[in-house]
Amino acid sequence: MSRTLVGLLSILWLSWCLVSNVEAQVEYMKYKDPKQPVVTRVKDLLDRMTLEEKIGQMVQIDRSVANAQVMKTNFIGSVLSGGGSEPLPEATAKDWIDMINEFQKGSLASRLGIPMIYGIDAVHGHNNVYNATIFPHNVGLGCTRDPLLAQKIGAATALEVRATGIPYVFAPCIAVCRDPRWGRCYESYSEDHKIVQEMTKIITGLQGDVPPHYKKGLPYVGGKTKVAACAKHFVGDGGTAKGVNEDNTVTDRHGLMNIHMPAYFDSILKGVSTVMVSYSSWNGVKMHANRDLVTGFLKNTLKFKGFVISDWQGIDKITTPPGSNYSYSVQASIEAGVDMVMVPYIFDEFIQDLTLLVKNKIVPMDRIDDAVQRILFVKFTMGLFENPLADYSLVNELGSQEHRNLAREAVRKSLVLLKNGKNGSPPLLPLPKKTSNILVAGTHADNLGYQCGGWTIKWQGFTGNNDTSGTTILSAIKSAVDPSTQIVFQENPDSGYLKLNNFKYAIVVVGELPYAETAGDSTTLTLADPGPDIINKVCGTMKCVVIIISGRPVVIEPYISSIDALVAAWLPGTEGQGVTDVLFGDYGFTGKLARTWFKSVDQLPMNFGDHHYDPLYPFGFGLKTKSGNGQLEKSNSAALGVKACVFTIIVTVIVSLCLTG
């Protein structure tokens, strides 16, 4: 009996010990408790991490070198898709989710189970993904002068990105492009920092509105339908000499702070989660190695508490040639204040070099802890620990009709009417929908890839109509006109054909070919051939409206005299109906130039306020037209006025006759 009692007491004692140990363990793992303050969770997790685990969190690799085992054994903090890096051609939202969750399961299987964060360039919609809504590039959005529209675009983009299981975007670009020769100028909202500041409203669309009394500088992401944003590229990327990409911005501190820095103030106030460092230099110092600006100003003065990320192989380019002293590049970038490094392929070398630098006390442990704290803070804030795996609940948001309607609105608000009528003749626009026949010409009239520009499906963009879904300008014209109107499309009609056919008017769509980054640097800024020849032939024969598809102002002055109406459509994206909405008068033109349109490239750089300012079309220029509805109302009012006048005359005559009778 006593043995049984002792046995029972022993079992009870062991059970109590086990329960106590479990409770102690649960209490001890504060970082797993969502009820704990984020700061507490970060500290608790950081205290548990080895140097290897910390450095792993600072690494971002491309999906092409990632798998579950790599994520688990190297403690990788982040994975990205570079331009065009996709799970498979024409991948669905489900394909993306399945791939990303597989990587995430590897991360969760590591010792501490720290989730990775997946990032992607979503710079004008979810532009890497088949069937996503492609919005106008920033160069067009700046012409809308509509920050609330930008916010809506941010919210729509966040939904489409989340639909594919991705919680982090490398957007927005808040560069102030001061020279259109720069190949990234279309990623900039304006030459005017004030417009760029206003358009940082897109951050609140991507991340959600910062709650009242939220501490300045803290990152904020408002739930599972929002994404972490990234203000880029810090700082001065739009001011390089002659617009050469990744080159040197030569200006004093006053110039840097007054033109290129203000949008970062606004972004931080809006709770932006991350900031990406620029490839460019400031007065000869590479930004990826500029401790004064990255740590001294961004982190210490502006109180930015999110994490700083490098650009693609950005630290390699600290040296010339790139990668020639990689260990130094690792040291210089981390000491400057870069927290996460976009490696993106050979991550072993980065991990080994940084580990040695820390163990040899060249890079202090405090700097590593600062970087990892920032990364973890963002991950906790956005709920990644509670919801690390994506589900399929949002897959129908990708390319939804609601988002396409929003993109269509953005297109029509971004278009700038530069000319309407010539030699004293009446305005050509809006065009009549009902007429005998219309000629549509030009290389860009029926080419979705040209219409979207770079950073669409592939890094440098695409050509043709098969790489994603959307509506070309030609298709939009066919849908907009009266069924009785004949549309004839000739990409490059010959002169004989033009003379033989009696077209009522022509719509000519020409522009630049797609490009991204350095591939877009241009010293000539000319229309792609045979664009100029098409303008001369068609507009020399009949009334014409010319639509320019471009990422910036281009040389157009030599052709102006022959053109009846001229429209800057920028890079409108997938929704071509936005162009025809204003072309045929369903809506009026309202866009205003957010950058100066030069006469000749010899004038560049030339920005509003310069002493030598002599543009073809000045900053802020944009002709307006009234919508068809407005015209209808005006016509009705006029008719009512005529009826009232006639009625008055009749009454007067009758009264007169009665009196004289």
Alpha helices for 484-601 (secondary structure H):
495-500, 531-539, 577-583
Find the catalytic residue in 121, 246, 311, 581.
311
Judging by beta carbons within 10 Å of its beta carbon (0-12, 13-18, 19+), is residue 225 exposed, middle or buried?
middle
E strands along 450-564, which residues? 486-490, 505-511, 544-549
Q: Structure tokens of 247? A: 């080159």
Pairwise CA distance, residues 626 & 632, whole Å: 10
Closest CA to 415 of 126, 148, 204, 146: 146
Burial annotation 348-361 (CB, 10 A radius, 16+ → b, else e): eebbebbbebbeee
Find the catalytic residue in 517, 521, 564, 581.
517
DSSP state of 185: G
Pairwise CA distance, residues 535 & 545, whole Å: 9
Q: Structure tokens of 642? A: 């005529």
Q: Report CA 472 to chain centroid distance, whole Å.
A: 21
Please indicate whether residue 349 is annotated as part of the active site. no
H or E element at residue 84: none
Pairwise CA distance, residues 173 & 313, whole Å: 18
Please indicate whether residue 517 is annotated as part of the active site. yes
Closest CA to 456 of 551, 549, 574: 574
Q: Report CA 110 to chain centroid distance, whole Å.
A: 34
Pairwise CA distance, residues 106 & 117, whole Å: 12
Start-to-end Cα distance in the chain? 138
Pairwise CA distance, residues 15 & 320, whole Å: 65
Active site residues: 311, 517
